[in-house]
Amino acid sequence: MIKRNPYIANIKAGYLFPEIAKRRREYQAAHPDAKIISLGVGNTTEPILPHINAGLVEGARRLSAAATYSGYQDEGLLELREKIAAVFYRGAFGADEIFISDGAKCDIGRLQLLFGAGSPVAVQDPSYPVYVDGSVLIGAAGGWTGAGYAGITYLPCTAENNYFPDLEKLPENGLLYFCSPNNPTGATADREQLAVLVRAARRTGTLIIFDAAYAEYIRAGALPKSIFEIDGARECAIEVNSFSKPAGFTGVRLGWTVVPRELAYAGGGSVNADWARVTGTIFNGASNIAQYGALAALESEGILEMRKLCDFYLENARLIREALSRLGVASVGGDNSPYIWARFPGRKSWDVFAEILDKCRIVTTPGSGFGPSGEGFIRFSAFGHRADVEEACRRLAQFG
Ligand code: PGU
């Protein structure tokens, strides 16, 4: 019989979001009349806006005519790579440094192939579970110890340190996953903090994988939307990003990754060249239809539509925070991100999850699923129809 990849056995339980979906199904089966509202997984709910949607339609139309038909586009449409460089990075990157993907999550998984099992991994704690679970799957981390995975350096990001990690604890010559605006806390690093981060990365030989999936939710003008706004980042960072959350492309699937030419391994090899090799080998490119949608999203009308969509979810976030504060529950986030991070002192996250589900019929995400420092917290997602969010806010009054 075939042997199982032993690293898979190191994963302690199911991936967080399917686990939540399972608990919801079980609750629904036991309470068939319950009208459950989900503020759990960060999944977009609102229709794609007209200009961007017209781009998708145009992408499909082009496939129907011989003159405009296209097949494999491994590296992504040149026009789209140039447009991403122009719109998001003020032309600071060439098209050969922008790689189109089918989403940030998929590229995070593929990026892990570049570094393999041998490089130490550090994460913000709490953080998006894919960084840690993916590292376990490639053997860069060991088994579950009861308080995290062996070999992962968890850098607590809590109210005590203003959600910015103590970088003295950064391992030498490793990877650091850094997400800003952060999932789940919503904390958004300012320019000075990112400058400190880049300096620490260069001092310790760390490669930062900067996840900017929520950058378009930033409303405070001075906050950086990209790690590449910081001098020196080209030598120590890769950025992953996505149209999922700003354009409603969670089901369309389109993202990109920036790998600067300057980025080198110990010994001097080019990370950019390896990334081209890895993606060329195991990825056949993103959907051409999705890429036409993204092109439309980057036109001025599309940019306005993305802003409008993010504003809609940010208003949901405001309503949720208000409802929590009426209950006396302390929370952060929701102002430059679609997540609210709510504190339930002295309690276990999964217990609070179960209580909110039972009393309010609302699905949330237990903070402990994002790392040891998430225990005692609940993440509320602001993705939802307005009427559902308003109803959820009314129901929250039944909690406590
Ligand atoms: N990066 C971060 C920080 C995210 O929170 C998410 C989605 C992604 C990347 C995924 O981006 P794609 O471009 O769509 O691949 N996080 C959601 C959905 C759960 C999941 O498993 O991705 C969440 O609820 O945290």
SS3 call for 349: helix
Pairing of strands 175-179, 121-125: parallel
Q: Which residue in 237, 171, 174, 248 sits closest to 210, CA to CA?
A: 237
Testing ligand 1's pocket by substitution, the residue of 45, 101, 106, 130 carrying the most ligand atoms inside 8 A of its CB is 130
The pair phi, psi for residue 101, each rounded to 5°, is -130, 175
Residues 202 and 57 in one domain: yes
Q: What is the pLDDT of residues 139-155, one digit of tens each?
A: 999 999 988 999 999 99
* Whole-angstrom distance, CA of residue 68 vs CA of residue 203: 50
Q: Report which secondary-structure segment, H or E, holds 386.
A: helix 386-396
SS3 call for 100: strand
**Does ligand 1 have an atom closer than 6 angstroms to the CB of 369?**
no
Q: What is the pLDDT of residues 315-339, one digit of tens each?
A: 999 999 999 999 999 999 999 999 9
**Does ligand 1 have an atom closer than 6 angstroms to the CB of 212?**
no
Residues 145 and 272 in one domain: yes
Testing ligand 1's pocket by substitution, the residue of 20, 99, 105 carrying the most ligand atoms inside 8 A of its CB is 105
Protein residue whose Cα sits closest to atom 24 of ligand 1: 42
- Say yes or no to pLDDT of 73 above 90: no
- Say yes or no to pLDDT of 74 above 80: no
Residues 285 and 371 in one domain: no
> 3: which residues sit within 8 A by CB, 6+ positions away?
none
Q: Which residue in 343, 335, 326, 336 sits closest to 379, CA to CA?
A: 343
Which of 250, 277, 299 is a domain's end point?
A: 299
Q: Report which secondary-structure segment, H or E, holds 311.
A: helix 300-327
> 56: which residues sit within 8 A by CB, 6+ positions away?
48, 252, 289, 290, 292, 293, 296
* Ligand 1 atom closest to residue 16's alpha carbon, by position in its atom list: 21
Residues 69 and 216 in one domain: yes
Residues 30 and 80 in one domain: no
Greatest CA separation found in the chain?
Answer: 65
Residues 100 and 244 in one domain: yes
Residues 259 and 395 in one domain: no
Residues 272 and 230 in one domain: yes
Residues 197 and 231 in one domain: yes
**Does ligand 1 have an atom closer than 6 angstroms to the CB of 186?**
no
Pairing of strands 98-101, 255-258: antiparallel
* Whole-angstrom distance, CA of residue 399 vs CA of residue 396: 5
Q: What is the pLDDT of residues 176-187, one digit of tens each?
A: 999 999 999 999
Which of 271, 299, 327 is a domain's end point?
A: 299
Residues 235 and 381 in one domain: no
- Report the pLDDT value the prediction gives residue 158, as an integer from 0 to 100: 98
* Whole-angstrom distance, CA of residue 137 vs CA of residue 11: 7
* Whole-angstrom distance, CA of residue 257 vs CA of residue 214: 14
Radius of gyration of the chain (CA): 21
Handedness of CA 233, 235, 236, 241 (dihedral sign): positive
341 in a domain, yes or no? Answer: yes
Distances (CA, A) of 158 to 161, 163, 351, 375: 6, 5, 21, 11
Residues 306 and 157 in one domain: no
Q: Report which secondary-structure segment, H or E, holds 365.
A: strand 365-366
83 in a domain, yes or no? Answer: yes
Q: How many domains does the chain divide into?
A: 2
- Say yes or no to pLDDT of 12 above 90: no
Mean pLDDT, the chain, rounded, equals 97
60 in a domain, yes or no? Answer: yes
CATH number for position 315: 3.90.1150.10
* Cα angle: 255, vertex 371, 211; to 5 degrees: 20
Peptide bond into 126 cis (omega under 30): yes
Mean pLDDT of 96-101: 98
**Does ligand 1 have an atom closer than 6 angstroms to the CB of 103?**
yes
CATH number for position 213: 3.40.640.10
Residues 269 and 345 in one domain: no
Mean pLDDT of 47-56: 98
- The burial class, CB within 10 Å (0-12 / 13-18 / 19+), for 339 is buried
**Does ligand 1 have an atom closer than 6 angstroms to the CB of 101?**
no
Q: Which residue in 321, 335, 330, 333 sits closest to 376, CA to CA?
A: 330
> 282: which residues sit within 8 A by CB, 6+ positions away?
110, 113
Q: Which two tokens stand for residue 238?
A: 């890769």
Which of 299, 323, 338 is a domain's end point?
A: 299
pTM of the complete model: 0.98
- Parent domain of 29: 8-48+302-399
Q: What is the pLDDT of residues 250-268, one digit of tens each?
A: 999 999 999 999 999 999 9
285 in a domain, yes or no? Answer: yes
297 touches 305 (CB < 8 A)? yes
